[in-house]
A and B are shown apart, each in its own frame.
Chain A
């Protein structure tokens, strides 16, 4: 068997059924072998989207996603997608072609140092020099990508190695003496945490993406109800806890809900699970949860104490640790259920119920999100791009289930949403998939309309069209004296015509009430569809300015009228939050 065939066979042994890829000179041997294989290959129209699609596949399914690109420019185009997966701990294996071993280092045609280039943005990377190494490397790559704190792994495959003969062995042993992720949490720390939680009067849980990755949403719900702890999430934690639950606070942070920001500010015990305390989540660190003892549960020991000082660190798998914690708390009969705290939280949450119904044109983003929420069901996977569209969704869209809200958090990669939706739909063909994007971000990846058409991948893309690089314009409006330097996109293109040029169904929505219908029928049509939604560019999302504490929100926040007449949102809520 040849090296490339060994690669394909090894992928098959890992249960890989689909790869997202783009061929090129240094991958000719491998692609020739793919021609004869049963592997499903989806030809994307840009390698960056192969990586994002593999990432979306991984986030939606929990399995490892796979992408392939040729050497040099193919590999460099993968880089943004790999870095995106790295920042958000998404397990992908990226296979890149490389020039033949004899030419490595000679600046050969389309040569680039893929190993060196991807070292800082991968969990690990490999380059086989002989085909014999391939089976073990592929197995190691999947094991590393998918276990512990997941992350991307790159396999850099020289052209000659793809052709070199080897004796293929099915069950290779892998040998990684330096890689032993801790799964069980330290019993003593769990005991200490249980007693701290038991004695807390005002506990809050902060859930991150790690809760979703470790499938511990059930345990999270149990713990929250057991001790009466309201739950807030990071952006990536969205969906780990049902956001329509009484104890849900919504997202925390710079663009988070004020109720969540207040609760964390006031709590006396913060139980952080599978989150890394990004600056977007914490705001100014010295102000963050300053009245609380902090328990931090994470599988990556390096995350503990990195950004926030922690009182009780617990390293391990969130599912195992939360179960043990629940057991310890129930055994101690220490249910601290502090109704006073729960009620107070409910009360200031009530004061901040954001207004979402608007009958204006151009459409208010809040109204748009409301209609999207009404058109989809609990199992629909929504992806977002980056910018205001992302934060409107994070802020207003109610997620109820894990793995249904996919967004580029750590790297904030424009152009993520649409290709990630493609990957998600391929992974979960039974689920409806809706991508929400800004006009700027969508234009970065609009060529993938060809892919969804060609392979008939029925995702629906809602382009929130404000003709601005909205999020940047927002910062310019708030912090740079409204000097809108190079953030106006002008009046082109016509997205409906653009989609139609690719043979993709398209529609335009401009008035309140229309989107719900159009989106529902697009979802039901079973065809890929683009919906151009004209929105009000002047609507500003309230936010915490960089460098400020979580309660120092700026920007007007509209509340539902029955909540608190005309009192500015944060003033009323602040009052209820008290001290």
Chain B
């Protein structure tokens, strides 16, 4: 089991939004000049990643370029059609090997969880990437609330399937409802969060409102949106992309520049927002979170368990 992540900051420590963005702009400008170090404490907290990579993408990019096939396969379809999805009321069924199974209302979940900001890289299997400032809570906290039983080894997730509000589901692009899954230790990892917002605002529907998974070291499709069911099981659960095309999409789907994909080379990626002449950048092992998560896969052949 991964260590607990303790967040010793309170909302009082949060930087006001305007200052936050301002600083980011300044820091991005200083990147590589060495001057960033002179800023001291502010720089230190973010020293793990090169500053320009950490600067979040814009609201327009994050909310306008999405995959959410329930609303269509075009990148702009979700932002165009997802408005139709009713997200209130919303509840998540938590069942399977848990002590407290049942329907958890979104409000009830929020009242029990501590929200925090996590700025993560987001890497799509189609070889594009973004940096997204999420708000959310650790999935581990929610699972602990439900009481994970002894025999549980995996966590299965399901997206809402409501054809009347999801025009993309007329086509069997995938076997609806969309399903995803994690091994329990991946799910309990402190980097794994359930997001409820971006940029300090509630999640827009196209980004998976009101509650979605975010697993930053895996390809984006693992970070299932608009979650309505979480099931603890003792068997590896079926997952949508793996069911559709097991040769191309494995259960693990960790970002790995060395494991080639039949359709997209994963060695490099393009950050969204660079315009027509954006350069590609090399993809990092586990999307840059190697130090945090590599231990989860010790002894596993990642080209076999891809």
Q: Are A and B physically bound partners?
A: no
